[in-house]
Every structure is written in structure tokens, then in C-alpha cells.
Structure 1
Amino acid sequence: MEGSEILQLYEIQYSDLMLLSSSPSPPPSSSSSCSHYLEKMIMENFGPTGPGLLAVTNVPDASLLRRKLLLLARKLALLSPEDRKRILRDHNLGSDVPLKNPDRNVSSFAMQLKYDQGLESIESKPSRVNENMDKISDFEDGGFDNLERMFKALGFCMMEIGLCLARICDRDIGGNELEQSLLESCAAKGRLIHYHSVVDSIVLREAGQRKGSSKSNNHAKRKENLSKSTNLETNGNGVRSCGIHSNLWQQWHYDYGIFTVLTDPMFLLSSHQATENSEVSNSSDQECVSPSGHSYLQVFHPNKNKVLMVKSSPESFIVQVGESADILSKGKLRSTLHCVQRPARLENISRETFVVFLQPAWSKSFSISDYPMEHYNPHVQPLEHAEENNFSDQGQNALTLEIQKLVPPLSARLKDGMTFAEFSRETTKQYYGGSGLQSNK
């Protein structure tokens, strides 16, 4: 929905976040009122009347790390399977998507990030961080030599942001369950994600077809690939549906951890050139601004009953509330229902981001006592007197009802006493299992 209303995220500066999280209570002096205000705004944006996300800005050293790491996402995705497998192995990375599938819309490269290593890195500031940054600066853009170091450095920085926000939320909620649950998990998952452009799909299909293909049929194959890939404009997420959810890179869902921390995305403008007699496809990319000025991350705001397009400051970090935080806080934090939209009619734009998923230990058990029933089994009523509402209201209501058909309610996935491991398995099954709501979408 290119015409969605824009949500400009509430932003907190990194230095203010560190100060606020390090104080057990707002420090005395004139800064006290400012600290109270910041804490209030965090809880309002994470709470049941807010959008469930905010942004952290001016994180030291993050700009260089973000740029160098995100530029590698597309390069990794388009490598030959043999080269990619070698690089991932050398840098202790894996993937949770089928990278052999040339029709995939997303390539994801993942690593477990251990809290003990992250805390050691954070506590060694600034000398060790500066030393690492000097080493990272020496590498040219596009090289994979420093991939693991950059992945961990940026990941640990984002884990610190999540821990600080958990500490602040715990202070307002009471107890320290969120922060303790994160530390007990021992690790977070980092993912470097490339959202494919139509051009990328052409490159991958041609690479897959090149083996065993003769020069005489290369031109026909290329025309076929272009035709198939152009259809992604209307079926970008593989969903053969009528309209409202058809142009998505990633379908509507909740993250089921505590917090998801992600970089403001980078967009790449790709080119693809090949002659009829060439057996080698040439592809290059150039960093560009967002085609519409926003992130293409969409959220559903339950309090407003509408879809909003998220806009964040360049190089900021976006933090989303997950379902585990919603459950553990007894509804004082509200999980974010979201998707990622594909730019319409722009076949050479790809999207790059780095995400860290902060979750509780697999053995953490959940209780639904005192949990708000409207969160547990939400149901959006159709607008009354629809014929009297304007066209925009009717469209939003139709979209809301369609989203409900794609997202299994929490009541279908969570039972009292479930562990996080059981909850995550049931959630995955309800979304993507053989009879899941998005199994064929």
C-alpha cells in the first residue's frame, strides 16, 4: 500500500538511552523531569496504545559498520552456491531459508550471538571497539574478509540496545523479568537479510539455467525469466491473492521473541546486462535513497485500526516489541504486527537490513493469568454503517479483516504453562506448517 499513512517513529538518542538505563531511578537534578519524560515516551510507544516500536539514533561507530555490512548482503545472495557455502563456513554463518531456490524473495544469513561475548565487548569500550573499527575501516567495500567481525560488532551493539530497553521497561512494569529472560537465553540470533529485486531473480534464474543450456536457447530463456520476474510486481511474496497482500517481500506476522532490533534499511539500485551470446550475466548495484522516503516496513496499529508505513531517520536502529514481551509484561507492552512491502513497479530496487532477534530461554515458561483477553484473542469488528464512512475507512477495514485471515491469533498458539520452545514451534506450525495460514502463500 504505497498510499499508507506514514508513521514517523519516536526517537531516543543512544546517549540518553544509556543514561536512562544505567540509573535505577531518574537521577536527581534538573535532568529528572527529562528522564521521566523519556521513560514515559518509551512505554507509550511500546505500550498497548502505541505502535509497538521506536528508533534509537546516533549510535557511536554504527554508521560505518551498517554500511559495510549491508553492502555485503546482496553480494552474498548472488554468489555461486559453492562460493557462498565456503564463505559462510569460513565466517561461521548459516541460513534459515532455502538458498538453492532461485525463486526465493529473501536471502538470510544467520549467526548465534552469545551474550557473554557481547557483554565482554561492550565493557571493553572504548579502546577495543576503536581498535576493531580501525581494522574494519581498512577493508575495502565489497570484501568478505571481515564479514564475521562486522556481523558480531554490529550485533553486539544492537543487543546492548535491547538489554537497555528491557531494563527500562522492567522498571516501569516491576521486577526484572524481561532483562533476566534475555540474559538467561545466553544468545540472540543475528540475520543479514537481502530482499531480492526482480533483477536479482533474473540473475539467479539464469545462473541456475546456465548449466546444461546451449547458447542457442539463452535468449529465449532470458525473455522467459524477465516475464516471470516482472510478475513479482503483482505477486511479490508468492501469494496468488486479489490485491491487498500481493506486493509484499514478507507477509504479515508477529515476531515471537522479546525485542527485534533492526537497522534502518539500505536500498540498492541494481543493473543487469547480458548479450544474447553471452553465457555470463553481469550485475552491479549502487546505494540509493528509498524510492518513497520511508522504510517499506508496514505495521498494523491496533489502537488506530489501520496500517501505517514506518519512517525512521537514516542510520537509526528500529526496535520492535515481540509477543514474548507482550506476554511477560501482562500486556503492558504490545507486540508489533508487521510486514515488508515491495516498491511498486521498480524491478531493480533491492532492500538490505541487519536484524537481531532477542528472545527468552527455550525453557522459559509462560503464564496467561492476568493477561488481557483482548490481546489473547483479538477480534476487530467491522466498521458500523460502512456505507456512511469514506472510501479510506472502508479500505482500512477490509485490509484489517484480510490481515486477520493470514495471522493466527495468540489463543491458537499459546496455552498456559507452555515453554518458549513449545510456543515457537506451535507458532511456526500455525503460520507455515502444512495446514498453516501462510503455508502456500
Structure 2
Amino acid sequence: MGENPKILDIHELSYSDLLLLSTPYHSPSSLQESERMESITKSILEALGPNGPGLLAIIGVPNSSVLRRALLPLARKLALLNPDHRKRILKDHNVGSDVPLRNPERSVSSFAMQLKYTESKEFMQNNQSQIEDKQSSVSEADSFCHSIENKVIDNEFKHLGKSFKELGSCMMELGLRIARICDREIGGQELEESLLESCTAKGRLIHYHSALDAQLLSKPANSKGTARNQASSRRNREQSIQSRHDTSNRKGLSQSSTNLWQQWHYDYGIFTVLTTPMFLSPSNTLETGLQDLWCCSERTSPSGHLYLQIFDPCKNDVFMVNSPPESFIIQVGESADIISRGKLRSTLHSVSRPSKQEDLCREMFVVFLQPAWNKTFSMSGHLTESSMLPEDRKDLVEEEGTLITREIQKIVPPLASRLKEGMTFAQFSRETTKQYYGGSGLQSNR
């Protein structure tokens, strides 16, 4: 993206209205209220439908700030933790990873947990009683400037598993309610039933590495030493690290091929529910005048947006997404596109890096809502991409021969090449993963 990217402010839906629209047998109290609910429903379908961005924001979710701030700062701590300590912590909290954490050149660190829908129901029933418990732990999550010796590490991460489940359950409930609303408008209950039949969703805590994080990982200290000793060793090398950091900036991070934290792709589930990201950067200054890279504090987005970018085929253009702070984002995946027969539109997206603040990292929690693995897909009645476009865009599509720019097309395998009639979701997900990241996949070296 250029210096002045196009910004997309996505549609905002209040949590209170979400509850009203998704509650069975709710009757509006007046004609005015009925018309308001119809207007909101129409806006939801426009945002998630074939002529919208496939995104909407949910605002005003109770306790969202507490839950978000308890979990997101732990992403960077886990990513840069001594590998032996990290392995133990993840095992203690039943958390895994779906990226090779031994690779020091990785651009993201991801920590995953399977979430159960039964836990989501229990969370919503007990939500109020958990607020007080969570308030007492926020100060721990906000503090980034203390020692992480063995005993302190255990205390620092003691809420990791609980926070995963609580925030994840809250976000699963949002996705279920959106599925219920879409089902009512589309017809049938296939979206919500597909989610519930799967029994689980995947929660993923993601740390998007800054250039300075990458330097920390590329020069690991003795893995058996204490974190304090490791930090001291790193500080002694920081002058040369900063020099290499400046060089890397000149050499290529400003180029489009390297200026992405996450490459262009579609999510292949039903809905992806995202927190707004948290941005962190080193905050303390050592006696030498250098920054203590282990000590971070929250920063505002340098450009005011989320660094989530989407491609809009209706406009044949790329947009940076903006959303209110502390909101949750609902993003349509390819399974919803298929199940709804094109009445919902999956979102082609990537995550870009700030071009001039490479000490900035990005923390996010994402929940992937997917159908059961044995869910069978049919393409019967599915709207083609071309038929979804406004008339004034079809000539451009025919002229260019693609709905996306050639650069993006090179790395995003088209849906038609990955989905066959009668495929199960398991088969579709395997084929999608193979084409994105397999031996011949163009993102396999990402």
C-alpha cells in the first residue's frame, strides 16, 4: 500500500441490537422499533453480502476491554519466552501452536486452543460473575516491565488458559448470533447448525513480530540461562542489532513483497471473529541510552487503522480496514460463501506492516468458526463471482480476465481449483492448505 491508502470504515452493530435481532421470538414493541430492526438487519446483510466488504464490527460488548487486555499482551511474552519455559507453560494451559516456533525468521508466532461451544454457553450464563474475578488480574496483564524468572513466569501466565476460554467463548457467541440472523434472512438454519455440529472452534493468539523482535529471535542466548541473563546479553548486542535493523529497512521491508505480516488469503471457515489489534513497542530506556526491548507498552496505531487490508472485487481496489477500539470484527469465510450460495461474500485479506515504525508489533486474538469436518459442500445454485459484480464492473473484469490484481492472483488459488462438488469440509480444507502452502504452493515459504 502507498503512503495514503484508502480507508474502509466498516459497518458497526451494537451488541444490544445483536441480542435483540438474534433472540428467538422477540417482538418489537412498536412499528418504529420494527422498522429500525429491519433497517439494521438489511445493513448487516449488505455488509456481509456479495456487494459488501464481508466484514462488520460489533461494538459495546460487555467486559470486552477487560478480556482483551488480559490476554493480548501475553502473545509477545510467549513468543519471546525461553523455549523450555514456553513449552512448559503451553502444556500446563493446554495451548498449542500451529507455526514452527523454532524458526527464528518467522514473522508471526501463533498459539492455539480448541474451544467448545458448551463452554461458550456457560460463559454467557456466568459472564457477570466473572467480571469481578477478571478485574483483579488486569494489572498483571498490563505490566510488561518485570522479571520473568521461573516463579514469576508461572504467576504471569496463570490466567492464560482461562483467558483463552473466556475471550474465545465471548467471540464464539457473537459468531453464532450473526449466523442466526443470516440464516433467518437467507432461509433455513444451515449456518448456525453447521457451527454447532462442529462442537468446537479454534482460538488463536497471534504475535506479529516487529523487526526488533526478529533480531531477538535470530540471536538466541543460552536456552538454559535465565531470562534476565538473556536480556542482559541481548542488550550488549543491541547497538549492532539497531544498525542491522536500519539496513534491513533500506534493503526491502518497504517493498510490497516483504511489507506484509500475513500474505493474501481467504479464511476457509464460516466466520472469523477478531479482536481489534493491540500495538506494542519498546518503552524503557537503559542507562546506556538504548531501549530495553523486553519492556513494551501499548501504542496507538501509527496510521489510525488496523493494518488489516482487504481486496474489494466490486471496486477492484485494496482498502485498509478501520474499526472502533475494543470492537470485534466478524469476517466471512469461504464456507459461509458456499453454504449461503453466494449470498454472503468471503473476504480476501492480508495484514500489512507499518512502513516507518518497525519496532512496532501487533497482538491479536482470533476465533475461527468452522463447520463439522464431515459437512458436505454443494456448488449448486452458487452465484459466480462475475454475477455478483455491478454492471459497470463486468466490462473491467472481462478486460482484465480476473477479479483481483495480477500480483494477488499469483498467490491466491481460486476457489474453483480447490472445491469440487460433494467435497467434505475436511477435504476442502486439506486441498486449500495444500494449494496455499504445499510443495507447489506459492505461500509455502511464507
TM category, shorter: 0.7 to 0.9
Does the aligned pair in 1 maintain the 2:212–2:293 contact within 8 Å?
no
- Structure 2: stretches of 5+ with no match in the other structure: 144-155, 226-231
Map Cα deviations across residues 358-389 of structure 1 (whole Å, 9 max, x no partner): 000000010001112327999x98959x9xxx
Cα offset for 1:437? 2.1
Q: Which structure 1 segments of 5+ residues have no match? A: 237-241, 387-393
Q: 1:73: Cα distance to partner?
A: 0.9
Matched, 1:187 2:200: yes
Q: Distance in 1 between matches of 2:371 and 2:214?
A: 36
Does residue 1:259 correspond to 2:271, yes or no?
yes
Q: Deviations over 1:252-276 (max 9, x none)?
A: 0000000000001110012698899
Q: Secondary structure at the match of 1:406?
A: coil
- Once the two structures are superposed, residues 168-197 of structure 1 have per-residue CA deviations (whole angstroms, 9 ceiling, x without a partner) of 000010000000000000000001100000
The equivalent of 2:433 in structure 1 is: 428
CA distance in 2, matches of 1:210, 1:124: 41
Q: For each residue in 1:181-226, what CA deviation from the matched residue of structure 2 results, as whole angstroms up to 9, or x when unmatched?
A: 00000000001100000111111122258899xx999978973785
After TM superposition, give the deviation of residue 121 of structure 1 in Å. 2.0
CA distance in 2, matches of 1:149, 1:217: 32
Q: 1:304 deviation in Å?
A: 0.8
- Other-structure match for 1:320: 331
Alignment of 1:215-226 (within 5 A): 223=240, 226=243
Distance in 1 of aligned mates of 2:191 and 2:439? 33
Distance 1:137 1:70, change over 3 A: closer
User: Cα distance, 1:25 vs. partner?
Assistant: 6.7
Aligned to 1:20: 21
Partner of 2:405: 400
Partner of 1:390: none
1-side partners of 2:77 and 2:141: how far apart? 14
* Pair 1:22–1:160, CA change in 2 (3 A): same
- Count residues with an aligned counterpart: 421
- Cα 1:375/1:226, change in 2 over 3 Å: farther
| Contact 1:405 1:437 survives alignment (8 Å) | yes
Q: Distance in 1 between matches of 2:387 and 2:335?
A: 12
Alignment of 1:13-412 (within 5 A): 13-24=14-25, 27-29=28-30, 30-126=32-128, 128-134=129-135, 136-137=137-138, 139=140, 141-142=142-143, 143-207=156-220, 223=240, 226-227=243-244, 230-231=247-248, 235=252, 243-270=255-282, 283-374=294-385, 400-412=405-417
C-alpha distance in 1 between matches for 2:106 and 2:248 = 14
Q: Is the CA contact 1:233–1:345 (under 8 Å) kept in the aligned structure 2?
A: no
With the length of structure 1 as denominator, give the TM-score of the two structures.
Answer: 0.87
Q: Once the 2 structures are TM-superposed, how far is the Cα of residue 141 of structure 1 from its aligned partner?
A: 3.3
1:381-415 deviations in Å (ceiling 9; x for gaps): 8959x9xxxxxxx9xx9971211111000011000
Q: Which amino acid aligns with 1:368?
A: M
SS of residue matched to 1:303: coil
Deviations 1:98-153 (A, max 9, x none): 11111111011110000112112213343x33354355457563521111111111
Do the aligned partners of residues 71 and 224 (structure 1) sit closer, same or farther apart at CA in structure 2, a change above 3 Å counting? closer
In structure 2, the CA distance between the partners of 1:50 and 1:299, relative to structure 1 (3 Å rule), is same
CA distance in 1, matches of 2:186, 2:403: 35
Give the counterpart letter for 2:256 in structure 1. Answer: I
Aligned position for 2:5? 4
Counterpart amino acid of residue 434 in structure 2: K
Amino acid at match of 2:118: D
Structure 2: how far apart are the matches of 1:219 and 1:382?
Answer: 60
TM-score scaled to structure 2, two decimals? 0.86
For the residues of structure 1 that align with 2:104 and 2:285, how far apart are their CA atoms? Answer: 18
Find the counterpart in structure 2 of residue 389 from structure 1: none
CA distance in 2, matches of 1:68, 1:233: 36
SS for the counterpart of 2:73 is helix
Q: CA RMSD in A?
A: 3.3
How far, CA to CA, are the matches of 2:339 and 2:132 in structure 1? 39
How far apart in 2 are the matches of 1:329 and 1:233? 46
Indicate conservation of the 8 Å contact 1:376/1:409, yes or no. Answer: no
Q: Which amino acid aligns with 1:331?
A: G
